[in-house]
């Protein structure tokens, strides 16, 4: 039976990651700034460029989970076309989207009992989620059945490694991930926090290297310690294409055969990390 893979706008997929792959449906998401709501994703009214312009002007954003009604509006037309659905959802460690999707699916299954709707909590975010979605699309292109693909995604998701640095403490402080004192001291010492997405899909501060160059070296070291498959590596950036290129060159020095994709970090994760964020995503033996 034909099926459609669905993900949310948090996935931050670069266009070239989707070339020659099956159709993907993306659920738009909402961010809010100074009481104004913006939609990120298909037919949205904010993109990464506009978002970072507003952030650099000193604005702070809040994120909200996709509500069940929105999921019904996205899923139902696919079901009416006779398609089954595999929804690869942003991590439940940072968002309530997974539980809201389950509520929507419980309603839709009553109306469309003949259709399969499977949701997988990716335990990934932003370009890490996009990395996993692109791999799933490749498998769909190779005619992997829905149930087999859902099992594969659920089994392999914890091998998607996310190591990233941020350029400012302000957004981590706002989200309660560092204290005001630590943020002030870190800014003074030019510390670039090194974070990862952990096994529960939550953000975790792992180290506090001083300066971008040392932070990048730490990212590369973690990659080389656990890298399993060098064929595809994703670099994400928060309005910092120059740093992304620097990291890409550094990766190629270590892994010359790597196929590297560079993608922008969008407003959903960017709201928590701020401009200048730099992410390194790869298949690893452990997170």
Q: Rounded to a whole number, what is the distance in angstroms from the first to the last CA of the chain?
A: 34
Q: Tell me the average pLDDT across 119-130.
A: 97
* DSSP three-state, residue 173: helix
Summarised one tens digit per residue, pLDDT across range 133-157 is 999 999 999 999 999 999 999 999 9
pLDDT of 1 over the 80 cut:
no
Summarised one tens digit per residue, pLDDT across range 94-108 is 999 999 999 999 999
pLDDT of residue 184: 44
Is pTM beyond 0.85? Reply is yes
pLDDT of residue 171: 56
**Lowest mean pLDDT: which of 17-31, 53-67, 149-163, 170-184?**
170-184
pLDDT of 175 over the 60 cut:
no
pLDDT of residue 189: 47
The CA-based angle 172-177-183, given to 5 degrees, is 55
Which token pair is 231? 């064929």
Average pLDDT of every residue of the chain: 92
Percent of the chain with pLDDT over 70: 92
**Domains detected in the chain:** 3-157 (3.40.50.10170), 159-284 (3.30.1180.10)
pLDDT of 15 over the 80 cut:
yes
pLDDT of residue 204: 86
Cβ-contact 227, 283 below 8 angstroms: yes
Which token pair is 47? 């993109």
**Lowest mean pLDDT: which of 15-29, 179-193, 273-287?**
179-193
Exposed e or buried b for every residue in 36-63, given b needs 16+ CB within 10 A? eebebbeebebebeebbebbeeeeebeb
pLDDT of 176 over the 60 cut:
no
pLDDT of 177 over the 60 cut:
no
Q: Tell me the average pLDDT across 224-235.
A: 93
pLDDT of 19 over the 90 cut:
yes
Q: Tell me the average pLDDT across 162-174.
A: 75
Q: What is the largest CA-CA distance in the chain?
A: 60
pLDDT of 210 over the 90 cut:
no
pLDDT of residue 182: 55
pLDDT of residue 141: 97
Summarised one tens digit per residue, pLDDT across range 246-268 is 999 999 999 999 999 999 999 99
pLDDT of 173 over the 80 cut:
no
């Amino acid at each position: 039976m034909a099926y459609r893979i669905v993900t949310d706008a948090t996935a931050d997929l670069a266009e070239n990651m989707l070339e020659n792959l099956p159709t993907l449906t993306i659920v738009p998401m909402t961010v809010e700034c100074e009481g104004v709501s913006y939609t990120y994703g298909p037919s949205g009214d904010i993109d990464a460029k506009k978002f970072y312009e507003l952030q650099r002007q000193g604005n702070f954003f809040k994120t909200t989970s996709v509500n069940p009604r929105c999921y019904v509006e996205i899923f139902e037309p696919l079901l009416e076309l006779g398609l089954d659905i595999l929804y690869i959802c942003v991590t439940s460690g940072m968002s309530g989207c997974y539980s809201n999707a389950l509520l929507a699916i419980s309603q839709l299954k009553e109306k469309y009992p003949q259709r399969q709707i499977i949701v997988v909590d990716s335990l990934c975010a932003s370009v890490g989620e996009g990395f996993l979605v692109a791999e799933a699309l490749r498998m769909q292109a190779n005619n992997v059945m829905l149930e087999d693909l859902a099992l594969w995604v659920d089994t392999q998701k914890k091998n998607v490694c996310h190591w990233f640095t941020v350029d400012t403490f302000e957004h981590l402080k706002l989200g309660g991930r560092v204290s005001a004192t630590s943020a002030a001291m870190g800014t003074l010492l030019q510390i670039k926090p090194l974070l990862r997405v952990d096994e529960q899909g939550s953000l975790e501060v792992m180290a506090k290297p001083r300066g971008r160059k040392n932070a990048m070296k730490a990212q590369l070291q973690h990659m080389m310690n656990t890298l399993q498959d060098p064929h595809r590596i994703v670099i994400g950036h928060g309005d910092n294409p120059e740093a992304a290129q620097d990291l890409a060159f550094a990766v190629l020095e270590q892994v010359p055969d790597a196929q590297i994709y560079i993608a922008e970090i969008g407003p959903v994760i960017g709201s928590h990390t701020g401009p200048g964020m730099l992410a390194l995503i790869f298949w690893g033996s452990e997170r």
